[in-house]
Amino acid sequence: MQQHNLHFSEHHILITGVAGFIGSWLAESLLKLKNKVVGIDNFSSGTKENIINLMVFSEFQFIEHDVTRPLPKEAQQDFDYIFHLASMASPFEFPIYPLEILKTNIMGTINIIEFSLRKEIELVFSSTSEIYGEPHDNVPTPETFWGYVNSLGIRSCYDEGKRASEALLMAAKREYGLNAKIARIFNTYGARMRYGKHHGRVIPNFVVNALQNRPIEIYGSGIQTRSFLYILDLIEALILLANTHRSEMVFNLGNPQEITIIELARIILKLTKSNSQVIFRQSMPDDPSRRCPDITKAQTILKWHPKIDLEDGLRRTINFYRKTINSPIN
């Protein structure tokens, strides 16, 4: 654990989406810091395996619940903070569950805002770099960029859902003084991310295929870029964000080290010593050509920057998948 400087203990915290990739890591860190955590999830994309390790903490309570409905009585506790993370987030899910994604990000966020206002709870919302859509020349992208998003496109359920969530938070702040922070999270990776054709993200997909010496599939030319943040760096930033008393509301959280998807494939093949072939497939519709955050704001206000570089984070991630897929490389 690298969170040696974090002073964030003895709070009572609700996490929506606790069985997801980010939620499960956040819950574990908060529990280790001696906070009391209630986690909710409907397992639409989160998994029971992700929360097994949380069950050993006596200060953890799990409630199965879909955020599109108002919180059940047992979850209506006097929290100090809510981390509202619940949502599917994989581009593979966008064409399959567009309405569910929109409902989670609109009805779910309304429910969480209303509850936060009633109980005067501070709210941290997981927004996304997706709200910027295609950044064109605005790279590294600052928080002031308005975004270039196709409202009719296949990704719009997620882009516009998250944009609607941001608008709802701003409206509740203006009208009722909601105490909220918005984390615009750029591509994040680490253990426990799902892989596979139907919901996997690029890093777990490449790592698992490389470990099994199966072909790695690049969608498009591979010259599109992303910037990858290791999960523990993100967790640290989210906790710092909750803990800041500054009035600034919106922060990019990501790693400004931008690389092409081809380069990512090359590094993963090298680190796994894999013989996998690289195959090129049709690009995903409306796939952003570049993505890289300007994190000046987080650096200056939260005093945060990513500490784990890509190769280090990838080694940790590869170790996890090597153990869990039970497929030794040859």
Q: Which residues of this chain interact with ligand UDP, rule CB under 6 A? A: 91, 187, 201-202, 205, 217-219, 224, 226, 261, 284, 287
Helix axes 156-176, 109-119, angle to 10 degrees: 20
> Could you say which of 81, 97, 132, 158 is catalytic?
158
Return the closest-CA partner of residue 227 out of 184, 259, 197: 259
Write the single-letter amino acid at 66: D
What Cα–Cα distance (Å) separates residue 40 from each residue in 14, 70, 218, 224? 8, 12, 34, 35
CB of 205 to ligand UDP, least distance (A): 4
CB closer to ligand UDP out of 36 and 201: 201
CB of 288 to ligand UDP, least distance (A): 7
Block residue for tokens 């944009």: 163
Give the side-chain half-sphere CA count within 13 A for 311: 6
CB of 296 to ligand UDP, least distance (A): 22
Pairing of strands 81-84, 12-16: parallel
Please name the residues in contact with 327: beta carbons below 8 A apart, sequence gap of 6 or more: 211, 212
CB of 91 to ligand UDP, least distance (A): 5
Please name the residues in contact with 314: beta carbons below 8 A apart, sequence gap of 6 or more: 189, 203, 207, 267, 268, 271
CB closer to ligand UDP out of 113 and 218: 218
CB closer to ligand UDP out of 33 and 278: 278
* Most distant pair of Cα atoms in the chain: their distance: 61
CB of 86 to ligand UDP, least distance (A): 17
CB of 15 to ligand UDP, least distance (A): 22
How many whole angstroms from its chain centre is CA 49? 18
CB closer to ligand UDP out of 64 and 311: 311
Active site residue 219: no
* Residues facing 227 on adjacent strands: 258
Task: Tell me how far apart the alpha carbons of residues 316 and 230 are, in angstroms, rounded to a whole number.
Answer: 10
CB closer to ligand UDP out of 76 and 221: 221
CB closer to ligand UDP out of 108 and 288: 288
As a 3-state breakdown, the chain gives helix, strand, coil percent values, each rounded to 5, of 40, 20, 45
Positions marked catalytic:
158
